[in-house]
Structure 1
Amino acid sequence: MLLSHDVDQQLRDRRPDPKPFSGWALRRIIEIDHDCPGLLAASFCFGAQRRQALFLLLALAELLGIDAIAHHLRSAESMPELTSANSSAVFGEAVLRLRRPRDLVRAVLAGPPVGLLGTLARLGHDPIGEPRTYYELGRLYLSRDPADRRRVKILGQIGGDLVGAQIPIVSALDPVLLHPALVSRLHELPQVTELHSALTYIRARCSGATDDAIRASLKRLKPGGHRGDLVKFWAARFDEPPVEFNLRGDPTLIVLDSAAALIDAGRRYTNCLAAKINEVFLGAFVYVEFRSVRCGEPGLIAELRHTDRGFVLEGLYGPDNRRVHPERAQIARRKLAACGVALLAHAPGERETVVAAARLLNEHALVEPDNHVGWGNEMLEVAEGLQHLLDEAA
């Protein structure tokens, strides 16, 4: 037979270890504890769900006023005996009497809304964000808007515990991007703004980026991936070039103006053009294929860097990235220059003297006329090429 003090000891052993909290919730409950002594100490022993229900009510009291919340508590069917004139005392007494989180939430929110209690249980023991976060959580679960219902569903589909930032993230996210695999990769609100801007760019560069197609692409996100995987998926499908390059009607020049064109050319020339898709997608480079009019003669690829003053030839590449024959390099350079592309030029003066100095300085890459970084046979000043563009614009 157990003695009474043994029973008391067992009951004490079953009590959860106190878990303190801080921030706005602690400041608020200390104020209420003055009119309802014992509330603060009791709240430290609340389970996660009951504590989060308390934080929800504290947040509503912070934003709507303690009197408004006390009025709801007095009117609740389960609390008809709350007659104190002091709103803080009414609040504290209700929290202590209503031991079930469901009853506590129902006393203030009609319902409570389906799923809200489950979400509260996944928020841990500490306050999440500011009071506005709890207000938004309650608004989402009370809303009948289809987009908000989708947001609530996403919160339930995210695996594991929730973090406070995921509530404003879900609220702010474009409805087309609402998918648990993506939301679980977002941890702060600025990431949503960044993602929205990237989505705007994707829609401008990819004709196939319809809302339905974007939703379908979200299903391809793999566990443990990055939010940037969505952008990479669509970059590999761009078909609206960000930079326009005028070929001046030259049929031997072909702009590789889509991801598909770059992949195809990379396969035909056995080079790394497929790895350059992101740079073309972002408008940093343009690649032009030069097809020879002679039957059986291999073509070449010209790499053009895009600048705020026009295009500059970065390099010429043959199949397998082999060097281009000087004669063919000269023809390609001349054609590109006619399209307004600036070519690298040597220092003023005789070519032979500059070449001799370059060789003795061991700068052979500049000397070779067919090298992808060389001056080439066409010694055009960069300024001439840029001036040509300016004259055309005028």
Structure 2
Amino acid sequence: MREGGLLGWATDALVRLDDETPGVLSRVLTASPPRRQAIFAALAARGEKAGVFGVEDESLIPITFAEVIRHGRAADILRHAFGGVPQGFPGLLAQIGERSLPRAKDYLVLHGLLISDDPRGADALRTSGRITCRKLEVLTALDPRWRHANTLDRIDTHSEAMAFNSAVAFIQSVNSKATNEVVANAIALMRPTSSLPKLLDRLLRRADRLPPHPLSDGDNELRPLASMRDLLEAGRKYRNCLAHRLADVAAGKVAIGEFRGECLVEFRPLTQGTGWLLRDVHIERNSPVPLALIGEVEAKCDALGIPRIEETGGGDGWKSYRRFTHELEWG
């Protein structure tokens, strides 16, 4: 059970109010969840000195905060604490349930969301079921464009939300068709069994802004795989994990070519954009590559001026051992 029991962080403040106006505690404990959450929100605002306090009524003697808690309706309590009550605020408070949120500031976050110009955030909370501290943390971390019940239900932490923001930014940098509207609609149309990684992968597979390929002057013997379609077809043809390396290609960390329709050639960028390096050769199912084929690929790259690492020591026996035992970075 959370510290402070049912009333949590609000316990001490309510005890003091009960001393001032007896019956406050019993009223809170027997209140309906919507009214109880209105009390918690008012206490949070009062404790943080946010909002308008001690709003006077039309009588000569102004009503006290304790008396509002003891006798007022949920709307009266919120109005006394915040001055104005944003549309939808009582309804969102009711979605919290019986217990208070773990921290007083969570109520201020919820209030701030409603008075800001962010209808997506409020709609996301309204349609995502019970409101928790985790959902509020995720919501505040999410880019406002991606705030939706489908993201709130699939992201668990603040750091995951930040990572998702960055991942979408990457997708938009390599896919010209992944506009804000397209991404937002894709999130909204997600099925219950779908996931955010799958959504991003679908958008990545349509990337059309790939980095320049080292084989820009390729020929029929060594041709560049310079589009997502080429890469996906090659992955199916050679039955390997190329489809899982599309992000590396899109980011310019890897480039792939095909040699005479017999093997895939992997290139890695040199530092400071000074060119590319022949890294490895792969055949179907990542099986051991015949040394004769490797030699032909190396000779072709030499002719194109593409450097490679010259292995020293161990001789051909070491290279054969390395490839035969699949000690490759591919996969």
Paired residues of 1:290 and 1:302 also in contact (CA < 8 A): yes
Paired residues of 2:21 and 2:66 also in contact (CA < 8 A): yes
- What residue number does 1:254 align with? 223
Pair 1:300–1:58, CA change in 2 (3 A): same
Shift of 1:93: 0.9
Q: State the distance in 2 between where 1:317 and 1:83 align.
A: 82
- What residue number does 1:69 align with? 53
Paired residues of 2:277 and 2:308 also in contact (CA < 8 A): yes
Normalised by the size of structure 1, how large is the TM-score? 0.69
Paired residues of 1:284 and 1:306 also in contact (CA < 8 A): yes
Aligned to 2:33, which of 34, 43, 48?
A: 48
- What residue number does 1:383 align with? none
Q: Could you say what secondary structure the match of 1:193 adopts?
A: helix
Shift of 1:69: 1.3
Task: Note if 1:340 corresponds to 2:325.
Answer: no
Paired residues of 1:122 and 1:161 also in contact (CA < 8 A): yes
C-alpha distance after superposition, 1:360-394 (max 9, x if no partner)? xxx843588xx9879xxxxxxxxxxxxxxxxxxxx
Pair 1:190–1:36, CA change in 2 (3 A): farther
Structural mapping, 1:72-91, within 5 Å: 72=55, 74-75=56-57, 80=59, 82-83=61-62, 90-91=64-65
Paired residues of 1:315 and 1:372 also in contact (CA < 8 A): no
Pair 1:299–1:44, CA change in 2 (3 A): same
Paired residues of 2:138 and 2:157 also in contact (CA < 8 A): yes
Task: Note if 1:217 corresponds to 2:186.
Answer: yes
Q: Could you say what secondary structure the match of 2:173 adopts?
A: helix
Aligned to 1:96, which of 70, 88, 91?
A: 70
Paired residues of 1:123 and 1:164 also in contact (CA < 8 A): no
C-alpha distance after superposition, 1:154-201 (max 9, x if no partner)? 22121x211123235434432321221112223333333222222222
Aligned to 2:127, which of 157, 162, 166?
A: 157
- What residue number does 1:303 align with? 266
Q: State the distance in 2 between where 1:339 and 1:123 align.
A: 65
Q: Could you say what secondary structure the match of 2:217 adopts?
A: coil
Structural mapping, 1:126-275, within 5 Å: 126-143=99-116, 145=117, 148-158=118-128, 160-223=129-192, 225-241=194-210, 244-247=212-215, 249-251=217-219, 252-275=221-244
Normalised by the size of structure 2, how large is the TM-score? 0.80
Q: State the distance in 2 between where 1:239 and 1:65 align.
A: 49
Q: Could you say what secondary structure the match of 1:44 adopts?
A: helix
Q: State the distance in 1 between where 2:252 and 2:193 align.
A: 29
Task: Note if 1:20 corresponds to 2:6.
Answer: yes
Q: State the distance in 2 between where 1:239 and 1:221 align.
A: 23
Stretch of structure 1 that moved more, 45-54 or 31-40: 31-40
Q: State the distance in 2 between where 1:121 and 1:196 align.
A: 29
Structure 1: runs of 5+ lacking an equivalent:
1-17, 85-89, 292-297, 349-353, 375-394
The one-letter code matched in structure 2 to 1:47 is S
RMSD, matched Cα: 3.5
The number of residue pairs the alignment matches comes to 321
Q: Could you say what secondary structure the match of 2:264 adopts?
A: strand
Shift of 1:208: 1.8
Paired residues of 1:140 and 1:152 also in contact (CA < 8 A): yes
- What residue number does 1:8 align with? none
Q: State the distance in 1 between where 2:77 and 2:250 align.
A: 54
Stretch of structure 1 that moved more, 31-40 or 55-64: 31-40
Shift of 1:289: 1.4
Q: State the distance in 2 between where 1:334 and 1:373 align.
A: 23
Structure 2: runs of 5+ lacking an equivalent:
none
Q: Could you say what secondary structure the match of 1:315 adopts?
A: strand
- What residue number does 2:90 align with? 117
